[in-house]
Structure 1
Amino acid sequence: MLDPARSYDLIGDVHGCAHTLEHLLDRLGYHKLGGVWRHPSRMAVFLGDVIDRGPRIREALHLVHDMVEAGQALCIMGNHEFNALGWSTPAPPGSGKQYVREHTPRHARLIDETLSQFAHHPGDWHDFLQWFYEMPLFVDAGRFRVVHACWDGALIDLLRRQHPDGCVDEHFVQAAAVSGSFACMAFDRLLRGTDMRLPHGLTMTSGDGLTRSFFRTKFWEDDPQTYGDIVFQPDALPEPVAKTPLTPVEKNTLLRYGIDEPLLFVGHYWRSGKPAPIRQNLACLDYSAVLCGKLVAYRLDQETRLDPRKFVWVDVERPEALQ
């Protein structure tokens, strides 16, 4: 699917920020020719979450889709593309649900901006939903890998046996309606990452206003000792929780992406500050562009360890809707 000898520009979560994406592509040396953004020698790889939240979702989808169709880009699936499929796909009989992703107020809030922007373009939305099935859940190019949130090698090996190209179908999405199913586990782990329940029945209200009883965890720490050592999300844990020691059982349940494994690029996690590697073989490229952060790319050539100088970004100083 990807030529390992080629050079790539890996791009984080766009979330409907089409103008910002155009600024980033321009900075990376892409030019719009024949209606498609192209580079004479490089290819873009989008890490998912093109939709939701931002002011120009339809434009962003058309931009990315046209690049993919022209062979100028590859786009993997993010949790928001999966959410859209789940929202639109009837659940299988006996699941106790009407849709794979139930139409609750919480779920409606996340997809509302996308549905609003496509309200007068139903044919367009139908076509994009079909295109989401062409987005692989992961790509392993040998010397580097891409997945939206978390690389779980054992789970990916199982998934690859059923879907060698990483692309799934409607039956697989429907199977995800059943909690605990392999499909549900695959989407949750690869597109949302790993998490752990807060101790003592505690809950947290995050910056996006959602109350959760779980927190997102790192999947690469070699010897964590406390909850604070493994938290990986914008919202910090309360200090007493952060200092809570991990039990042996909790340590054994943690996933570990080894320092000697191939380069891995993820999005999803709403980072802030100056873009930089997490480890020498791991980078997150989601820097909250839609929240006036940064839209970030990494310029990958033939290196086998990440170079901090090869991050490129556009600062979003005010909401794109006002630009």
Structure 2
Amino acid sequence: MTQSPVQRLFDGPLDIVGDVHGEISALEQLLENMGYAPNGEHPAGRRLVFLGDLVDRGEDSPAVVKRVSDLVRNGLAQCVLGNHELNLLLDSRKEGNGWFYAQTDDHDHSRGHFRDAPRADASERDAILKWFSTLPLALEREDLRVVHACWHPPAINDLRDDARPVRDLCENWSERVEASAEHDGLYAARKEELQQWKKALHDPEALVPMLPAIAAIDARTQSMNPVKVLTSGLERQTSQPFFSNGRWRMTEREAWWNEYSDEPAVVFGHYWRWPGDEREATARSRGPNLFDGTSTWQWLGPLGNAMCVDYCAGLRWRERKSGVQQHVGLLAAVRWPERDVITSG
């Protein structure tokens, strides 16, 4: 039975775990550090909440899904959907999610640097998609809210009473956004921009100007679709293009928490908050450093009640590849109501 995409959060004390990204060893270490028994029970009656992005890039995504889904089924955890789970529901191949697919070739970017990661078999793939389709997009109670990327009241309101499967929701909203862009002539304008700049858009040495139609379509695609807003945040046109992940970008992510002034606290992940030297460029999210001017473990927003708990566990694959012995990227959890941050170490 399909349920609302915005559901009730557990009562009582919680440990809210950031983006795991397949790092099963870090997850087990974090649970041990927080005092959880191997079966997921806590002597103080605490329960777990996972912020999504359980999968991709890390050492064993199928193992993480099994561990977390077992905890959820046993009533010991809740989990919201992240953009990486949404990609699989939409059958969208991205770098790092080749572990899910039955076959990939040497040119498949979904495997990329992650060819040694364990694959899911056919029965696991079916079960994984079925379970992902049951996950809410947001959780809430009177004092606390949980979402993968962005708590945006208009998007929450658009989705709260719509019980369609999340894949249908996302695709329906995408069609509506595309219709608005077509109506406003943006696709015709983008075609003209691509005629001149298509090749340069993938060249980091090119001098690419702001291309307003591409910028407008990219911003609308992200920020007018409430499913994408909750799972991967708001975006806006950047002041000037920048090169990231293989192409020139015309939009940048918004630090929405700087405007968050609601009384309930909100905990989220997604934004690659770097626990090391702030000059370390490998941890940067797309565009400007959204955490500039804040300390590593600081609560955010005008009321100090917004917390990003993604501390770059998803970069451990890169650290392993470089041969480091001590990871800088950490898996972390925030304890509620204590507001403390615990890490995998």
- Note whether the superposition's TM-score is higher than 0.5: yes
Tell me, which stretches of 5 or more residues in structure 2 are unaligned?
Answer: 1-7, 102-110, 112-116, 179-220, 276-295, 317-328
Query: Counterpart of 1:214?
Result: 251
Deviations 1:54-109 (A, max 9, x none): 1210101101000001111000000111111011xxxxxxxxxxxxx4xxxxx442
Deviations 1:203-227 (A, max 9, x none): 2223x55542211111133xxxxxx
CA distance in 1, matches of 2:167, 2:227: 13
CA distance in 2, matches of 1:262, 1:120: 39
Normalized against structure 2, the TM-score is what? 0.66
Name the aligned partner's letter for residue 159 of structure 1.
L
Name the aligned partner's letter for residue 75 of structure 2.
G
Query: Counterpart of 2:49?
Result: 45
Within the candidate set 52, 63, 84, 2:88 is matched to: 84
Query: Counterpart of 2:126?
Result: 126
Name the aligned partner's letter for residue 36 of structure 2.
Y
Tell me, which stretches of 5 or more residues in structure 1 are unaligned?
Answer: 88-100, 102-106, 222-255, 316-323
Closer/same/farther in 2, CA of residues 157 and 176 from structure 1, 3 Å limit? closer
CA distance in 2, matches of 1:213, 1:147: 26
2:14–2:46 contact (8 Å) kept in structure 1 = yes
Deviations 1:117-137 (A, max 9, x none): 564611111111011111100
Which range moved further: 116-125 or 178-187?
A: 178-187
CA distance in 1, matches of 2:119, 2:341: 36
2:236–2:251 contact (8 Å) kept in structure 1 = yes
Query: Counterpart of 2:140?
Result: 140
Alignment of 1:117-266 (within 5 A): 119=119, 121-163=121-163, 168-178=165-175, 180=177, 185-199=225-239, 202-206=240-244, 208-209=245-246, 211-221=248-258, 256-258=259-261, 260-266=262-268
Any idea what SS the aligned residue of 1:283 has? strand
Within the candidate set 70, 76, 87, 1:66 is matched to: 70
CA distance in 1, matches of 2:146, 2:73: 19
Query: Counterpart of 2:34?
Result: 28
User: Post-superposition shift, 1:176?
Assistant: 4.5
Query: Counterpart of 1:291?
Result: 315
Normalized against structure 1, the TM-score is what? 0.70
Query: Counterpart of 2:342?
Result: 312
Please state if 1:271 is matched with 2:273.
Answer: yes
User: Post-superposition shift, 1:291?
Assistant: 1.1
2:257–2:300 contact (8 Å) kept in structure 1 = no
2:16–2:51 contact (8 Å) kept in structure 1 = yes
CA distance in 1, matches of 2:121, 2:80: 24
Identity of matched residues, % = 32
Within the candidate set 7, 24, 30, 2:13 is matched to: 7
